[in-house]
Structure formats: C-alpha cells, structure tokens
C-alpha cells in the first residue's frame, strides 16, 4: 500500500464488546514451539466480547512516539530479537485469537518465524489450499464463537481465500485474514508488475468489514483493535490485515512495550420513544409471530428472546441463520420461514416481531413472503432496521437493553394473545416435529450424539436441513447459508473439530462438493482430526440437473460427470475409507468413524437414485 495507514472500515462496522489489556510481548524463545499444538489454557476466548470501538477518536487511543529509524534498524544481539511480527502475534493472542490456518510463502516468512516462537503458543495448522484456510477458520468460529485466522501470501493466496471471506461476510461470521504484503520499495508501483501482485485493498473492500495495511509500529495495536471491533460489530464479519514482509521483520526498539487500551464501549443506545411505540404495538397484537435471526446470539440476547416468546405464547420461526436461536425442541418453535406451513402461519398472524434477522432473499423467497400488516423490528444495526421490509416500528440498539424493557413492560401489562393462537402454536410444533426427515440426513441425525456438529454442503441430500434436521443450538449446524459456496462442508467440519475436539463432527457432501474441499483431507490426516465425511456419489450436479429438467424442456447441459473412487482417493491420503452398501448401515458406520483417531470417508453410491434425490429438493417441489 502507498499510504502509511490504510484502514477502511466497512460502513456497517460498529463497536461491541470489551478489550482486555495487552500484557506485553512474550519472551523470545530460542526453540520454537511445534506448530499445530493445542492452545494454552490461559488463552482468552474471543467469544468473551474482546474488541474495541473501530471508530474511536484519535484522542481516545494510546499514542506513543515512533522509534528513530537508526534504532529500529539496529542489528541487536545474536539471539532472536523481537520484531514487528512478534508484536503482531502478541497483540492478537491477547485479544483472543484462537488458532491460525495457513500456508507459508515468501511474503509471510517473518510472520511464520514469529508465530513459531509466540508464547503462550497460538496453534497453527497447515492447509493445502488457501480457500481451505478461510473455510477452516469459519468452521472454527461457527462451532465455538472464537476467532481464528487464515494466513496467506498476497495475490493468488489472497484470491484463493476469497470464497471463505465471502461466506463469512454474508453469514456474519468473524474471520481474520492475514495476508502478506509488498516491500516498501514496491509501494507506488503498478501491482500487476509485482511478484504475487494485487491491489489488495481494492480486492478485499467488498469482501470484508475492515481492511488495514499498517506501516508503523504504533499502528499495530490500534489496527488489531479496529479489526476485532469490526469482526465483533453489530453485523459480525471478516477483517483483513496486510503486513509487508520487510516491516514484519523489522526489529522493535529496546524496551518497547505496547499500549494498554482501557476504554470499554458502552451498550448501544436504544431510543425510549421508539421502544415505547414498539411495546404498544406488541401489546395490541392478538396473533403475534416471532421471527428470529443470528444476531440474537451475537447480541447475547437469545435467553431474552425465549422469555419473550414464552410470555406471549407466540410461535417462533427462523431464517437460515436463525436456526438454533431457540432449540428446535422448544414447544413454540414451528420451523423455517420458507416452508409452506410457516408461510401460512404468517398470513394468519396480525403482527410480526422480528429480532436480529435480516430478511434475506432466500429466507423470504425473493421477498415475496406475505408478512403481517404490523411489523416491529429489533436490531443492533440501525441501518438494518429499515432495510428490505417496510416496518411499522423499528428499534435500533442493544438487544439486551431493549428486550429487558419489553419484558418488564409486557410483564406489567401483558398482550392479550388469543388462547386459540397459543394452542395452535403448540399443535403446530408437535406436527412439525412429527414429520419424517429425509434420507441420509435422518441417518446422520441418528448417529450424531447430542452436542455434535453436522456440517452440510450444497447438496441434494442436505437442502432440507433447515426444516427437517433438528438441532438444539446455532453451533450444531454448519451451512454456507447465503454465499451457498459449494465445497464448504468438509473444510468447515475440519475447522470445527480442531476448535472443539470434544464434539463429534460429521460432514455431508455430494461428489462435486467433496471434490472441491478434498485437499483438506491431507490436513485432517496430518493432525489426526477425527471427523467423518459422508459423501453421496451420484455422478451429477443433482440440483442443477433437476432445475434444467424443469426449466429447459428436459434438456441437460453438462450436469452429468464422472466422479472418482472416493475410497481409493481417501486411502491415498492416509484416511480411513468405508463403503456404505445400504443406507441402513450409515448410522453404525458413522458411529465407528467417530471413534477413530483420524478422518473417515464414507461413500454412498446413489448413481441409480438420481430421480429420488431430485424429488427431495425443496425449492423444486413447493417446499
């Protein structure tokens, strides 16, 4: 980058959470720790709200003098001397970075050198493709809420990692991308003439909540603070930090200690006027419905949402990212917003209470779902409150604060919800839970114990997971909900298992999707990751084939393909590989695989069941 600092916050980035102080640089160890070890127990969890305001005024941020250039270039003693890269990892560790997924290259050598001597250790896992780095980091965050990083070279490395960043942006997943940069001598040159050349700020601008390329030592703590603020903002998402190789290798001045930020953001304000109007509208509802989204979890308000639903006796529906905000076993949860059942319910309701949801294209069937005439919407993001849907009253700000007030006021003077509406809610929940699941999903659900994680790819056997697979929390189902990135499930499952080794993890993929993420099977073998990959092989792009059959007069265009022998491929990687001749065998084979120390690939041959698979794709058959 040309400028001394290039921090470009995404327009939706807003501060949230508390920042623990930086306790200083770790001592430089003469013998590097082994990369890929488990994190030390004292490493703070990123899910504890570690962030600071991305838009703090300069006067509120610690400022100190840059060391003289001659001092910064001092050769130092023969033993390794702390560098900018050491400072970088120290600040990240103190802010709760849980792990790094990456691949060494010329422009991140200094970063890797410093990472290897960081103490306490930040675990590192070598990926085989940079796309896997961001997808493993996203799986890590989805399963635990903790922030992990993807570490790549610039240019092609950054470009390869983009699919995972897009998914994190669209699904509001906090992921940190660390990319090598270019030497100072290259700054101002045409990027197309550079080794691994790319204008990385322009490239990442539409993919991340925040991008920065620090140029001075004093920038490092502040840039990291801003990145964590963006990743933990009112709409969580990815952040990108570019670090040039010569700057990363620059020695720190003797006696240098980073600043200790102390400012802690206050809860986002809530307008009493807006809140009062919302409560009055809610009190007047006789047949209310709650529509919940993932920001209920991100805003730490899910328990209050549950209290509100129980106070009203209202049915609870969810979009893709809202699944698990309340357990599917809760007797007022009635299912996915795209289902025919839920759409009919919304047409009967006289009021909708939307909390932490974005009303996306998929969840609203291209925004054609008919909603009640009165809509009250709560969201931490003031911009989101009025997007995409015409609301009667919006309430922006801290969800905990807003819902506490709602619960207090409706507790004093409750809404007069019709008794028949409450009874209908309970009946619809029972009817929903009694519906049979779909093949393969049913067998996986039977095998995965409570507390397990199921990562589902973009595949015919997985599309029904939002309405026909039951989970108890939002971290038990992983799916690329809005980027809909083919090949996501297996890398995300590996990241989830590395993040939460005590949880059973199973991925479900079709043959095309598994091929896209197959390289990370080598990662799973190297680190003996006990994850089970279920692969349904039917030698075609099944959903697209079904779409062509419906819309192209029966014509097929390149949706049939030849898939490899996945069992032979898996064994070539060193993984366990098992054929599943009968679907009824799948639960047993999964249970056995979950007990093995490394990865297991289970192949189901559905070559002669393509029409059956097309028949269970929900959007092709009315949902």
Q: Look at residue 28 in the predicted model and tell me its pLDDT.
A: 35
Find the radius of gyration of the CA atoms of the chain: 25
Cα torsion 169, 174, 179, 185 to 10°: value is 80
Nearest to 209 by CA among 182, 179, 234: 234
pLDDT at 316 over 70: yes
Phi first, then psi: what are they for 71, rounded to 5°?
Answer: -70, -40
Compute φ and ψ for 147, nearest 5 degrees.
-90, 130
575-612 confidence digits (pLDDT tens): 999 999 999 999 999 999 999 999 999 999 999 999 99
The structure tokens listed for 121 are 């250790």
Dihedral sign from CA coordinates of 445, 623, 489, 479: negative
Question: Checking DSSP bridges between strand 477-478 and strand 505-510, what pairing results, if any?
Answer: unpaired
C-alpha 248/C-alpha 141 separation (Å) is 26
Three-state DSSP string of 300-325: CCHHHHHHHHHHHCCCEEECHHHCCC
Domains in the chain with CATH codes: 8-27+50-56+82-248 (3.40.50.970), 272-434 (3.40.50.1220), 441-620 (3.40.50.970)
Is the pLDDT at 18 greater than 60, yes or no?
A: no
Predicted local distance difference test score (pLDDT) of residue 56:
29
| Tens of pLDDT, residues 265-305 | 678 999 999 999 999 999 999 999 999 999 999 999 999 99
pLDDT band of residue 33 (cuts 50, 70, 90) is very low
Quick check: helix, strand or coil at residue 370?
Answer: coil
pTM of the model: 0.86
What average pLDDT does the segment 32-39 reach? 34
pLDDT in the model for residue 554: 82
Q: Distances in Å between the alpha carbon of 372 and those of 353, 363, 396, 536, 550?
A: 10, 16, 21, 40, 32
pLDDT band at 545 (very low <50, low <70, confident <90, very high): very high
Give the mean pLDDT of the chain: 87
pLDDT given for residue 14 in this prediction: 40
d(CA 418, CA 286): 5
Question: Strand 393-396 vs strand 375-379: parallel, antiparallel, or unpaired?
Answer: parallel
pLDDT on residue 522: 98
Question: How far is 249 from 579, CA to CA, in rounded Å?
Answer: 50
Which has the higher per-residue pLDDT, 128 or 35? 128
């Amino acid at each position: 980058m040309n400028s001394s600092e290039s921090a470009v916050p995404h327009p939706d980035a807003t501060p949230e959470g508390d920042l623990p102080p930086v306790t200083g640089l770790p001592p430089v160890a003469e013998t590097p720790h082994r990369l890929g070890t488990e994190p030390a127990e004292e490493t703070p969890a990123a899910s504890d709200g570690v962030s600071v305001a991305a838009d703090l005024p300069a006067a509120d941020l610690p400022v100190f003098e840059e060391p003289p250039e001659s001092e910064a270039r001092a050769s130092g003693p023969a033993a390794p001397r702390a560098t900018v890269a050491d400072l970088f990892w120290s600040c990240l560790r103190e802010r709760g970075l849980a792990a790094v997924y990456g691949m060494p290259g010329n422009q991140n050598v200094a970063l890797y050198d410093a990472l290897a001597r960081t103490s306490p250790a930040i675990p590192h896992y070598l990926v085989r493709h940079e796309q896997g780095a961001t997808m493993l980091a996203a799986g890590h965050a989805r399963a635990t809420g903790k922030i992990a990083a993807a570490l790549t070279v610039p240019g092609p490395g950054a470009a390869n990692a983009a699919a995972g960043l897009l998914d994190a942006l669209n699904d509001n997943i906090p992921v940190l991308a660390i990319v090598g940069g270019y030497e100072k001598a290259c700054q101002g040159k045409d990027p197309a003439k550079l080794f691994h050349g790319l204008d990385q700020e322009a490239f990442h601008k539409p993919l991340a909540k925040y991008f920065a390329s620090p140029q001075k030592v004093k920038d490092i703590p502040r840039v990291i603070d801003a990145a964590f603020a963006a990743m933990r903002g009112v709409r969580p998402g990815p952040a990108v930090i570019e670090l040039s190789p010569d700057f990363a290798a620059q020695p720190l001045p003797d006696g240098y200690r980073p600043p200790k930020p102390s400012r802690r953001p206050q809860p986002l304000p809530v307008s009493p006027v807006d809140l009062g109007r919302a409560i009055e509208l809610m009190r007047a509802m006789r047949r209310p419905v709650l529509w919940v989204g993932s920001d209920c979890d991100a805003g730490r308000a899910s328990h209050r949402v549950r209290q509100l639903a129980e106070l009203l006796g209202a049915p609870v529906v969810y979009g893709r990212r809202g699944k698990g905000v309340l357990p599917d076993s809760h007797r007022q949860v009635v299912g996915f917003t795209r289902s025919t059942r839920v759409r009919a319910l919304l047409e009967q309701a006289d009021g909708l209470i939307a909390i932490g949801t974005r009303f996306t294209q998929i969840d609203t069937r291209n925004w054609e779902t008919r909603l009640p005439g009165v809509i009250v919407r709560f969201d931490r993001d003031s911009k989101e409150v009025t997007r995409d849907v015409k609301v009667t009253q919006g309430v922006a700000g801290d969800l905990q604060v807003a819902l506490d007030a709602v619960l207090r006021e409706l507790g004093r003077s409750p809404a007069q919800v019709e008794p028949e509406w409450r009874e209908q809610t309970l009946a619809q929940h029972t009817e929903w839970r009694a519906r049979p699941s779909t093949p393969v999903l049913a067998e996986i659900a039977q095998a995965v114990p409570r507390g397990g994680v199921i990562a589902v790819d973009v595949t015919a056997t997985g599309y029904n997971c939002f309405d026909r697979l039951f989970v108890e929390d939002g971290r038990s189902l992983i799916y690329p909900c809005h980027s809909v990135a083919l090949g996501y499930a297996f890398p995300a499952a590996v990241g989830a298992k590395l993040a939460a080794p005590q949880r059973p993890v199973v991925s479900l993929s079709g043959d095309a999707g598994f091929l896209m993420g197959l390289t990370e099977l080598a990662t799973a073998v190297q680190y003996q990751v006990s994850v089970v990959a279920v692969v349904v092989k039917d030698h075609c792009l099944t959903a697209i084939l079904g779409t062509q059959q419906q819309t192209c007069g029966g014509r097929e265009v390149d949706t049939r393909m030849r898939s490899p022998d996945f069992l032979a491929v898996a064994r070539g990687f060193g993984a366990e590989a098992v054929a599943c001749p009968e679907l009824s065998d799948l639960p047993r084979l999964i249970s056995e695989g979950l007990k093995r120390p490394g990865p297991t690939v289970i192949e189901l041959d559905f070559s002669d069941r393509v029409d059956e698979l097309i028949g269970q794709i929900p959007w092709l058959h009315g949902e």
